[in-house]
Chains A and B, each alone.
Chain A
Amino acid sequence: AQTVTQSQPEMSVQEAETVTLSCTYDTSESDYYLFWYKQPPSRQMILVIRQEAYKQQNATENRFSVNFQKAAKSFSLKISDSQLGDAAMYFCAYKTSGTYKYIFGTGTRLKVLA
């Protein structure tokens, strides 16, 4: 069975600084997707960034980028130039290609300090 582990329950970062959130996963599949979702307080969860496992190039979306290490089964999220609006719960998620079911981690609460 697939699992996703987020070992940091909470992280803090100073505004304008960079922070990295960790995520590791376990799977025996070769074709899958990885995602980072963000949930601000009392608001809907939104997709931040996604990575297809067959792509070696790390995905980037503006200030958000990932470090995808397939052999190590690691998928960390880097947030550059952190902003107050980045404060949220961040969930790492896995999905096997061709399926519809996400496997989520336990989440990391990110605090951004002014």
Chain B
Amino acid sequence: EAGVTQFPSHSVIEKGQTVTLRCDPISGHDNLYWYRRVMGKEIKFLLHFVKESKQDESGMPNNRFLAERTGGTYSTLKVQPAELEDSGVYFCASSQPGTALEGYTFGSGTRLTVV
């Protein structure tokens, strides 16, 4: 089966611009997660979708970040306007319900650089 796909793999934008990251989860996975790793720091939770609904967005840094999951399929994470501190690697992951011990399937991440 296809894995979790993220694109772009890299994005370099100027401060103040808008960037949209996309994640295609494994088909049939109801749970979709976004995480972020700022350089040298831990990977931090951003939010969790169950199908098209936001289950938990407590990790979203501020209102410049907007996540959507259209029809419970792919998800987008938009940053508008981007700031320097938004630079990092954004990971998407998906899972089936009831598979806590099996872990998530992660994508390769999008490396965002804001200059």
Is B truly associated with A?
yes
Across the interface, B101 reaches (CB within 8 A) one of A50, A100, A106, namely A50
The count of chain B contact residues (Cβ–Cβ below 8 Å) is 28
CA of A102 to CA of B41, assembled, Å? 15
- Give how many A-B residue pairs fall within 8 Å (CB-CB): 61
Instruction: Tell me if B100 and A97 are in contact (CB < 8 A).
Output: yes
Interface residues of A in 65-109 (CB under 8 A from B): 91, 95, 97-98, 100-107
B106 CB, nearest partner CB in chain A, Å:
4
Instruction: Tell me if A95 and B42 are in contact (CB < 8 A).
Output: no
CA of A104 to CA of B106, assembled, Å? 14
Instruction: Tell me if A42 and B101 are in contact (CB < 8 A).
Output: no
Instruction: Tell me if B101 and A104 are in contact (CB < 8 A).
Output: no
A96 CB, nearest partner CB in chain B, Å:
10
Instruction: Tell me if B100 and A4 are in contact (CB < 8 A).
Output: no
Which residues of chain B have C-beta atoms less than 8 A from A107's C-beta?
A: 37, 42-43
